[in-house]
Structure 1
C-alpha cells in the first residue's frame, strides 16, 4: 500500500475522510476548508509545523505562503492581505507575539475585510522556550476574541469557522494552541474543500481606500476604540451558542468549568475518580467568556471549580461576573489548580480530588520523587552540537583564542548549545536579536573601565534577519566596540530548516538572496570578513584581526547545516569521508572529546584511546586540526 505524503493527506477532497493528524496539521486543513488565500509566518516551536505544512501544499492549494523575516512582518503582511479582501492567517509561538505586539495592539481595533486568524502556540512548561506566558492575556489586553481547541479535530473546526466569525464581527481572531495540542495526534474528520482550493487557483485581492478604518490617527482611533468594545460584547453573545456547551449531570449542584485542552484532562480525571454526577461547562472561548451560558451553568450550583492552564484568565472573568450577579456558589480555581507548567491528567486528578474532598489515586509528590530518582539513575546525555556542526568550530576557535577571558552574549538558535560543556561560551541569551543589543550595552558600560575583556557575540543567520538588523545599525551608529559572529548555516535550523532572506529561497515565488556581509558593509561596520568555519585556521586569523579593531567587527561564518549536508549525501547514495584515529599516535589526552566535543568521537576505556564512531561521523574533518598530536587522519 502506497504511503501518502502530507500534501496528499491535507488536500484530500473527500468530505468525511478521516485522518490521523498533528494539531498543527489539523489547523492547516481547517484553514483550507475555510477558504484561506494568504498565509505568512516566521517559524517557532511549537507552531512550526503549521508553516511547514502550508509550505508543502501552497502551490497545489492556491495559497500564497510566505516565510517572513519576523512575526511582526508576517502579521502585517497577512493583515494587508485581509484588508485587500483575502482570507488570511499568520502563525507564531507565544514569544513571537511579543515581536508582533506593536502591530497586534495597534491594529486590534481596525477590523478586517477578509477573515483574519492569528494562530499563537503557547509553550507551558517551556519545553522549547525562554519563558512561559499566556496568550489569552494578550488577547484580552488587545480586546480580541480568543478560542482554544481541545483536540486536533476541534482545531480543524475552529480554524475553519473563525474566518466566518472574523468577517461577521469585523475583527481579527486569535486561535490559541499549546505544545501539547500542536504536537499531539488525533483523528480528524475532514469537511469539504472550496472549489478554488481544489483547483489550486490563487485568489486576487482588491484594496479599497478606507482611511477612517485603516489610519489610526487619534480622531479615528477614538471612534474605533469604542466600536471594538461594542464588538467584543456582541461576540460574547455569539459565544453563548458557538464553541461552548454544557454537558454532564445538569441537575448536579457541583460543576467544573474547563478551558481548551484542560477539558480533556478533566474528562479523564473524572473517570479516574469515578465521579459522574457533575455538571461541566466546556469552554472553547476563554475570552470573552459567554455570560449567557454562565447563567445557565450556575443555575442550582452550590460549588464550582475552574480548571485552566497557566493564568486565571477564565477564573477572573467568571468571578467578576459572579460578584456582579450576586452568585452565592463557591468558586475555586488557582488555589487548587497549579498556575505554572502544563497540566496533565495526574495534576488535574490531584486538584479535583482536593475539590471533592476525596483521596486521590495519584500521589503527585510521590510520583515526582520516584521520577527524579529514576532520572538520577539514567546516564546523562548532555545537549551537544550535531556531528560536523559548523557552529562547534566557531566556538572552539573563540575558546582557543580567548580562553574564557571574554564576554560572550549569544542568541536564540542552535548555537545556544554553546552554553554547555565543553564550550561554555554563552553568557547571555534572552530573546531574538538580544546578543547584539546586549553586546552594545555591555560595551558602552565598560568604556573607561579597567576591563580589557573582549566582547564576542554570536547570532544565527535567520535570527540576524529576524531582529539583528536594527540592533546592528544602532551599535554601529553609536560607535560600539565588539565582535559579532553571524553563524550562517544557510537555513533556520532549530525550527526545521525553513528558508530566510539569506538563502534566496521562497515558498511561493522566486526569492532574492540577500548577502549578510553586504548589509554589514552598507551599515558601516569597521571590519567585515567571511570565513568557512571548517577552515579553522582562517577563522582564527579573522578573529585575531577583529580583536585588533576598535569598533564593530563583523564575521560571517558560512557553512551549510550539517544535517542538510548529511541528508543530501544520503539521498545521492554517496558515502561520507571517513576519518580515523591512529592508536599509536593517540596519547589519550582527550582534547578531541573534552575540548572539541564532537559526539562522533568516543572513548575506549580499555585501550585508553579515543576512536571515531563511523555511523555518527559526517566526514567534516574538523577534528584533524584539533588533535595536538596529529593522530586523526582521513581513512580509506
Structure 2
C-alpha cells in the first residue's frame, strides 16, 4: 500500500480487502518483520488452505536493514496438483460448504496469529496506545515508557486477547495509517472505555504518518512522548519542478506529434513513464492499467465528436490492454490507439516483457508481435513507425486520423536508458547561436537537455542524440555536433 500516494493512483488500504475476504493479513512494521512474515505467510496458507495477504507499505518497501535469516528450510516436495473438486471447483453447491468452512476457521486463525507474536502488548500505565504497521515503529521511537502499547501486525485480530488488554486501561488511543481498521475492532470491544483516533478527529484518515506527526497527535491528547520536534518553517516559494521524461525519450517525441496532428483531441492515457505526458498536455485521464483504451472506447460510444487518441505502453498493453482493444473493435469505436513500444518495462526497472524476446530469467523465447496481435483483434489499420522520425510519424498519424473505426499506431523506439546501457552513442546536437532567433520552439518541446542561455537555446551534455529538436527548429539553428 502507498500512504500519501507517492507513486500510486490511490491510498487504498488492503487490510480492508483481507477483512472482506476473511483471509489473514500480515502488516510488517520493520524490514526484519517483513522477512519473518513472508516466511510465515506460506506456512499459514498451507495450514488454513487460504491465501494470505502480505501488506508492506511504501516506507517498509523502501527501507534497508540487517536481517536475521534464521534456518533455511529445505523442501523436497515434488510439484503435483492434488485434485479436489469440492475445494477448487466453485459451483454453488460447493460454495455454500466452503463459506461455512471459512467462517469456522476464523477463531483458529486469530489464535494462531497471536501465537506467532505479531500481535503483542505491554502494560505500562493507565493509558494505552494501540498501533500497527510502520506506525508502530514511530510509536516505539517517541512514546514514553509510562504508556502501555499494543502492536497489531496481523489480522484478523483476536478480540478476546484485545479485550483483555483494553480492560486494564482508562483510555485508549489508536494510531494507524489510512483506514480505521484497528480502531473499529477496538471500539467493538472497548465498552465504556474512551477510544480516541480517526473517528474522534485526532488522527487523519488520509496521508502518511511520521514521527513528528505522531508526536503532535499524542501530545494533543495529553500522551507523554520522549521527543519534541520543532515547528517546521515553510521555506520561501520555490519554482515548481515537476518530474519530466528523460532527454531523448521517445514518448516526448510521440506526444509532441500527437498534439500537432490531433490539436483539439482528447487524450486518455495509462500507467507508465508516458504519464509524464501530462506536462506536455497530452494526458487527460490516467486511472488504472489498461483504462486508456476502455475510456477512449466509452467516450466514442457516448457520442464524443472530437478526435480521441489514447496512449498506452507496450508492457501495459500486453498486461491489460488487449481486452479493451478487442472490445473497442467489436463496438466499432472511432478511436486512435498509440502503443508506445520502447521494448521494455521501463518505469519499474527495465524488466522484460513478451515483446523483448526473453523471460525475466533470461531464457530466450519468441517475441510477441504487437502488429500481429492487433490485427488478430480485428484492427484493420495497424502501422509501426519510429517517433524519432517526426515527419514520418506525423504522416502515419494523419493517415490514422482519416480512417474509420479503431486505428493502431505502434510508436517503436528503444528506451533511451536501454540504449545507453548498450553503449549506443548517437552523438549529440548543438545550437548555432548565430542562427538561433530565441523563438523557444525547442524549449517548449520540454527536453531537459535544452535550456535558455542569454535568450538563446543551448543544448547540454544531457543530449542523447535523438535529433527531435533538429526537426522542430523553424530556422535550422540546430545541427549535429562535429568534433575536430
User: So what's the TM-score if we normalise by structure 2?
Assistant: 0.95
Determine if contact 2:126/2:147 at 8 Å carries over to the other structure.
Answer: yes
Q: Give the paired residue count.
A: 479
Cα distance, 1:438 vs structure 2: 1.0
1:136-215 pair list within 5 angstroms: 136-195=15-74, 204-215=78-89
Q: Map Cα deviations across residues 205-253 of structure 1 (whole Å, 9 max, x no partner).
A: 11121101100000001100010111122111112322335454x2521
Instruction: State the match for 1:543 in structure 2.
Output: 397
Gaps of 5+ in 1: 1-121
1:197-596 pair list within 5 angstroms: 204-248=78-122, 250-270=123-143, 275-285=144-154, 287-322=155-190, 327-334=191-198, 335=200, 336-356=202-222, 367=232, 370-371=233-234, 373-374=235-236, 376=237, 378-403=238-263, 405-420=264-279, 423-446=280-303, 451=305, 453-508=306-361, 509-569=363-423, 575-594=425-444, 596=445
Cα distance, 1:548 vs structure 2: 0.8
Q: Distance in 1 between matches of 2:226 and 2:148?
A: 20
Determine if contact 2:215/2:225 at 8 Å carries over to the other structure.
Answer: no
Cα distance, 1:362 vs structure 2: 5.8
Q: Distance in 1 between matches of 2:403 and 2:152?
A: 60
Q: Map Cα deviations across residues 516-569 of structure 1 (whole Å, 9 max, x no partner).
A: 111111111131100011111110110010111011110000011111111221
Q: Map Cα deviations across residues 422-459 of structure 1 (whole Å, 9 max, x no partner).
A: x2111111111111111111112226xxx4x2111111
SS in 2 for 1:123: coil
Q: Map Cα deviations across residues 319-361 of structure 1 (whole Å, 9 max, x no partner).
A: 1133xxxx33212221212111011111111111122267997
Instruction: State the match for 1:630 in structure 2.
Output: 476
**Going by fraction, where is helix more abundant, 1 or 2?**
1
Gaps of 5+ in 2: none
Q: Distance in 1 between matches of 2:114 and 2:121?
A: 14
Cα distance, 1:295 vs structure 2: 3.4
Q: Distance in 1 between matches of 2:394 and 2:166?
A: 70
Q: Distance in 2 between matches of 1:268 and 1:541?
A: 61
Q: Distance in 2 between matches of 1:212 and 1:305?
A: 45
Q: Distance in 2 between matches of 1:437 and 1:353?
A: 49
Cα distance, 1:300 vs structure 2: 2.3
SS in 2 for 1:521: helix
1:30-49 pair list within 5 angstroms: none
Cα distance, 1:409 vs structure 2: 1.0
Determine if contact 1:246/1:282 at 8 Å carries over to the other structure.
Answer: yes
Q: Distance in 1 between matches of 2:439 and 2:125?
A: 72
User: In structure 2, do the counterparts of structure 1 residues 633 and 251 end up closer, same or farther at CA, with 3 Å as the change threshold?
Assistant: closer
Instruction: State the match for 1:49 in structure 2.
Output: none
Q: Map Cα deviations across residues 571-607 of structure 1 (whole Å, 9 max, x no partner).
A: xxx754021111111111110011x1111011112xx
SS in 2 for 1:187: coil
Instruction: State the match for 1:613 in structure 2.
Output: 460
Q: Distance in 1 between matches of 2:475 and 2:162?
A: 75
